[in-house]
Amino acid sequence: MEKNLKNITIAYIGGGSRGWAWRFMADLALDGDICGTVRLYDIDQKAADANAVIGGRISANPGAKSRWVYESVPSLQSALSGADFVVISILPGTFEEMRSDVHEPEKYGVYQSVGDTVGPGGFVRALRTIPMITEIANAVKEYCPKAWIINYTNPMSLSVAAIYSAFPKARAFGCCHEVFHTQTLLMAMLKKEHGITVENRQDVHINVYGVNHFTWVDSASFKGLDLMPLYADFADKYWADGFLEDPDKTKDPVFVSANRVKFDLFRRFGVAGAAGDRHLAEFMPPWYLKNPETAAKWKFMLTPVSWRFADLERRLARSQRLASGAEEFPLVPSGEEGILLMKALLGVREFVSNVNIPNAGQIPNLPLGAVVETNALFRLDQIKPLIAGSLPGNIRPLIARHADNQENTLKAALSFDFRLALTTFLNDPLMCGVSETDGETLLKTMMANTAKYLPKEWGV
């Protein structure tokens, strides 16, 4: 009746990941409460093999507080059977497909800063992701129906929606760190403007609501301090020039933003956009993404897929070094909360965090069932969402539109309904300047570019 905390089994789908997986391994190693086995499964089995070696090294680090066993496994079945947790962190397709997602629409004047969530790129990425996630969800249903599924794959909302569509009794949720940045921004504000140092990000309490990468915060506090009036002043002060949290520039420039989009959204709508500017901008009409110059004016960058190719090279090389022992992966916390959530679900410690799950009423004025992001309480074998409250009147249509697109995309992807796909594709705010006929041509081209990863029923 009580799970043995020292014998946890985690199935890691996409276990060949060169980045996420390592940080996850480090987090596991740094936790002293639980240990067990991590099964790494990847369609690129060599990558999983390498990560099994790397995992072993990380676990053997003298600083590790717990020992985990890492195994590379050859099939979903072998990964999942008997698993307590399933981590889904896959790349749907390759960067070749992502190149089309991100850059093909530019031919029609549609620019995307990330291209993996919404916009034309997010849409087409979803078309190929949904069948993959569906396959995994069906396998969980068969091999470990009681396991908790933690999704990290983008598009997040649609991945979680696809899991529940295939397996309605799934115990699944999606984790994303974007919201944390709002907390760290508030911490930076407190430090810079008010000389207050916050030790622990989780002491900045926020109420968050929206859909993944397009979340909003209507209240924030630190101890007895209401942070919203402070944030209003802060946004006014830095709206024109921006505010950089990373003065030492340790972050790659393609990911840096000066929070001008966030400040502008707050001033226009009265609640705070709570995700990176690169993400927020993609959910709006092309106010901030009219073209690269506009983005630059708003002080954020479009991430070109060429950067991702180059980065992959760097990570491949690092993988070899880590596997061979030439480099040691640093045992520092990733800042992610996945392990804390797992421990809460194991009964170690209650925890409140933001999470992506179907709307059961946490946002009363969004459709039930839409995958939304709000706070929830994690407890032994339970996620109890908090009621975040109704979205303000001028925010609701912005989010409802994406929630509807989410539902239609899922349905189109599962039924191969091109008419529904096209009308949904055209309903994306970034597409509003594209004529209906150009939109049709673009969608057909983009689907052809990703045909290798689309179900054959599409006939592309």
Report, as residue numbers or ranges, the catalytic residues: 177
3-state secondary structure of 391: coil
Minimum Å gap between C-beta 414 and a second copy is 12
Task: Decide: residue 403, CB within 10 A, 0-12 exposed, 13-18 middle, 19+ buried.
Answer: buried
DSSP 109: T
Minimum Å gap between C-beta 206 and a second copy is 10
Measured from the CB atom, the residue of 94 and 221 that comes closer to a second copy is 221
Site string for a second copy, 331-350 (x = CB under 8 A): ---------------xxx-x
Select from 385, 446, 447, 454 the one that contacts a second copy (CB under 8 A).
Answer: 385
Q: Give the closest residue to 221 by CA, choosing from 196, 249, 256.
A: 196
* CB atoms near residue 365 (< 10 Å): 15
Q: Give the closest residue to 445 by CA, choosing from 420, 427, 425.
A: 425
Select from 427, 451, 455, 460 the one that contacts a second copy (CB under 8 A).
Answer: 427
**Which window, 122-130, 178-186, 271-279, 424-432, contacts a second copy (CB under 8 A)?**
424-432
Minimum Å gap between C-beta 110 and a second copy is 12
Interatomic CA distance for residues 84 and 39, integer angstroms: 11
Interatomic CA distance for residues 82 and 217, integer angstroms: 39
SS (H, E, C) 151-213: ECCCCHHHHHHHHHHHCCCCEEEECCCHHHHHHHHHHHHHHHHHCCCCCCHHHEEEEEEEECC
Select from 328, 380, 448, 452 the one that contacts a second copy (CB under 8 A).
Answer: 380
Residue type at 122 in one-letter notation: G
3-state secondary structure of 280: helix
Minimum Å gap between C-beta 270 and a second copy is 6
Position 436 contacts a second copy (CB under 8 A)? yes
Contact (CB, 8 A) for 388 and 363 = yes
3-state secondary structure of 5: coil
**Which window, 68-76, 123-131, 181-189, 407-415, contacts a second copy (CB under 8 A)?**
407-415
Position 422 contacts a second copy (CB under 8 A)? yes
Minimum Å gap between C-beta 290 and a second copy is 7
Site string for a second copy, 282-321 (x = CB under 8 A): ---x-x--x-------------------------------
Position 398 contacts a second copy (CB under 8 A)? yes
Give me the residues that bind a second copy (CB under 8 A), please: 1-3, 5, 205, 207, 219, 221-226, 229-230, 264, 268-270, 285, 287, 290, 346-348, 350, 352, 360-362, 364-365, 367, 375, 377, 379-382, 384-389, 393-394, 396-398, 400-401, 404-405, 407-408, 411, 419-420, 422-424, 426-427, 429, 432-433, 435-436
